[in-house]
Amino acid sequence: MASSWPAGTARPDLVVLVVAAAALTRGPAAGVLVGVAGGWLLDLVPPGAAPAGASALVLAAAGALVGLLRPWTRLSPVVPWLLAVLAAAVPPLVRGVAAAAGAGVARPLDLLSSWLWTAAAAVLLVPALLALERRLAPVEDGRAR
Protein backbone atom coordinates (compact mmCIF):
# COMPACT_ATOMS: atom_id res chain seq x y z
CA MET A 1 0.00 0.00 0.00
CA ALA A 2 1.46 3.36 -1.01
CA SER A 3 1.95 5.89 1.75
CA SER A 4 3.37 9.38 1.94
CA TRP A 5 4.63 8.63 5.46
CA PRO A 6 8.35 7.75 5.48
CA ALA A 7 8.94 4.00 5.49
CA GLY A 8 10.36 2.49 8.66
CA THR A 9 9.17 5.26 10.97
CA ALA A 10 6.48 5.19 13.62
CA ARG A 11 3.07 6.51 12.59
CA PRO A 12 0.41 8.30 14.60
CA ASP A 13 -2.65 6.26 15.54
CA LEU A 14 -5.47 8.43 14.23
CA VAL A 15 -8.21 5.89 14.94
CA VAL A 16 -7.63 6.15 18.69
CA LEU A 17 -8.20 9.92 18.43
CA VAL A 18 -11.58 9.34 16.79
CA VAL A 19 -12.42 6.87 19.56
CA ALA A 20 -11.35 9.38 22.22
CA ALA A 21 -13.47 12.13 20.64
CA ALA A 22 -16.54 9.89 20.62
CA ALA A 23 -15.94 8.89 24.23
CA LEU A 24 -15.40 12.50 25.30
CA THR A 25 -18.62 13.60 23.62
CA ARG A 26 -20.93 10.65 24.29
CA GLY A 27 -19.45 8.70 27.20
CA PRO A 28 -18.01 5.22 27.78
CA ALA A 29 -20.66 3.24 25.88
CA ALA A 30 -20.10 5.23 22.70
CA GLY A 31 -16.35 5.02 23.24
CA VAL A 32 -16.53 1.23 23.42
CA LEU A 33 -18.75 0.97 20.34
CA VAL A 34 -16.61 3.29 18.24
CA GLY A 35 -13.50 1.51 19.53
CA VAL A 36 -14.84 -1.89 18.48
CA ALA A 37 -15.89 -0.59 15.05
CA GLY A 38 -12.55 1.16 14.46
CA GLY A 39 -10.61 -1.86 15.71
CA TRP A 40 -12.50 -4.22 13.43
CA LEU A 41 -11.73 -1.96 10.49
CA LEU A 42 -8.04 -1.99 11.40
CA ASP A 43 -8.06 -5.76 11.83
CA LEU A 44 -10.02 -6.65 8.71
CA VAL A 45 -8.79 -4.16 6.11
CA PRO A 46 -5.50 -5.27 4.56
CA PRO A 47 -2.82 -5.66 5.79
CA GLY A 48 -4.84 -6.34 8.96
CA ALA A 49 -3.62 -7.62 12.31
CA ALA A 50 -2.50 -11.09 13.33
CA PRO A 51 -5.30 -12.00 15.76
CA ALA A 52 -8.55 -10.58 14.39
CA GLY A 53 -10.28 -8.56 17.08
CA ALA A 54 -7.19 -7.59 19.05
CA SER A 55 -7.29 -3.97 17.90
CA ALA A 56 -11.01 -3.86 18.59
CA LEU A 57 -10.46 -4.91 22.20
CA VAL A 58 -7.63 -2.44 22.74
CA LEU A 59 -9.52 0.50 21.22
CA ALA A 60 -12.68 -0.44 23.12
CA ALA A 61 -10.68 -0.34 26.35
CA ALA A 62 -9.25 3.07 25.41
CA GLY A 63 -12.74 4.36 24.62
CA ALA A 64 -14.13 3.06 27.91
CA LEU A 65 -11.26 4.62 29.86
CA VAL A 66 -11.69 8.05 28.29
CA GLY A 67 -15.47 7.86 28.57
CA LEU A 68 -15.27 7.08 32.28
CA LEU A 69 -12.95 10.05 32.81
CA ARG A 70 -15.20 12.39 30.80
CA PRO A 71 -16.55 14.28 33.88
CA TRP A 72 -13.04 15.63 34.45
CA THR A 73 -13.27 17.66 31.22
CA ARG A 74 -15.12 20.39 33.11
CA LEU A 75 -11.94 21.25 35.02
CA SER A 76 -9.97 22.73 32.15
CA PRO A 77 -10.05 23.03 28.36
CA VAL A 78 -6.75 21.10 28.32
CA VAL A 79 -8.25 17.98 29.92
CA PRO A 80 -9.84 16.60 26.70
CA TRP A 81 -6.44 16.73 25.00
CA LEU A 82 -4.80 15.03 28.01
CA LEU A 83 -7.44 12.29 27.96
CA ALA A 84 -6.88 11.78 24.22
CA VAL A 85 -3.14 11.47 24.88
CA LEU A 86 -3.94 8.97 27.64
CA ALA A 87 -6.08 6.98 25.20
CA ALA A 88 -3.26 7.13 22.66
CA ALA A 89 -0.96 5.48 25.21
CA VAL A 90 -3.16 2.37 25.51
CA PRO A 91 -2.35 0.68 22.13
CA PRO A 92 1.46 1.07 22.45
CA LEU A 93 1.33 -0.20 26.04
CA VAL A 94 -0.65 -3.26 25.01
CA ARG A 95 1.70 -3.89 22.07
CA GLY A 96 4.69 -3.56 24.39
CA VAL A 97 3.25 -5.98 26.93
CA ALA A 98 2.30 -8.44 24.18
CA ALA A 99 5.81 -8.25 22.72
CA ALA A 100 7.32 -8.81 26.16
CA ALA A 101 5.13 -11.91 26.49
CA GLY A 102 6.42 -13.21 23.16
CA ALA A 103 3.54 -12.24 20.87
CA GLY A 104 5.18 -10.19 18.14
CA VAL A 105 8.03 -7.73 18.11
CA ALA A 106 7.84 -4.15 19.30
CA ARG A 107 10.81 -1.88 19.85
CA PRO A 108 10.34 0.52 22.79
CA LEU A 109 11.60 3.48 20.77
CA ASP A 110 9.04 2.80 18.02
CA LEU A 111 6.23 2.54 20.58
CA LEU A 112 7.26 5.80 22.24
CA SER A 113 7.64 7.53 18.89
CA SER A 114 4.19 6.37 17.75
CA TRP A 115 2.65 7.67 20.98
CA LEU A 116 4.42 11.02 20.64
CA TRP A 117 3.28 11.41 17.02
CA THR A 118 -0.27 10.62 18.08
CA ALA A 119 -0.06 13.17 20.92
CA ALA A 120 1.18 15.79 18.47
CA ALA A 121 -1.64 14.99 16.07
CA ALA A 122 -4.12 15.21 18.95
CA VAL A 123 -3.28 18.90 19.43
CA LEU A 124 -4.84 19.68 16.06
CA LEU A 125 -7.33 16.87 15.59
CA VAL A 126 -9.06 16.50 18.97
CA PRO A 127 -10.72 19.96 18.96
CA ALA A 128 -11.82 19.45 15.34
CA LEU A 129 -13.11 15.92 16.04
CA LEU A 130 -15.00 17.10 19.13
CA ALA A 131 -16.63 19.91 17.16
CA LEU A 132 -17.55 17.49 14.36
CA GLU A 133 -18.93 14.95 16.82
CA ARG A 134 -21.09 17.57 18.52
CA ARG A 135 -22.33 18.88 15.18
CA LEU A 136 -23.22 15.46 13.76
CA ALA A 137 -25.19 14.24 16.78
CA PRO A 138 -26.34 17.11 19.01
CA VAL A 139 -27.76 14.89 21.76
CA GLU A 140 -26.07 15.05 25.14
CA ASP A 141 -27.03 13.34 28.39
CA GLY A 142 -30.25 12.01 26.82
CA ARG A 143 -31.66 15.45 26.03
CA ALA A 144 -31.95 17.10 22.63
CA ARG A 145 -30.53 20.61 22.42
Q: What is the pLDDT of residues 101-134, one digit of tens each?
A: 887 788 889 899 999 999 999 999 999 999 998 8
For 26, 82, 83, 85, 126, the CA distances from 78, given in Å and listed in that order, are 18, 6, 9, 11, 11
pTM for the full predicted model: 0.85
Q: What is the mean pLDDT of residues 30-58?
A: 87
Tell me the pLDDT band of 8, cut-offs 50, 70 and 90.
Answer: low
Q: Where are the beta strands (DSSP E) in the chain?
A: 139-140, 143-144
Measure the CA–CA gap between 83 and 89, rounded to whole angstroms. Answer: 10
Tell me the pLDDT band of 9, cut-offs 50, 70 and 90.
Answer: low
Q: Where are the beta strands (DSSP E) in 33-132?
A: none
The pLDDT value given to residue 102: 81
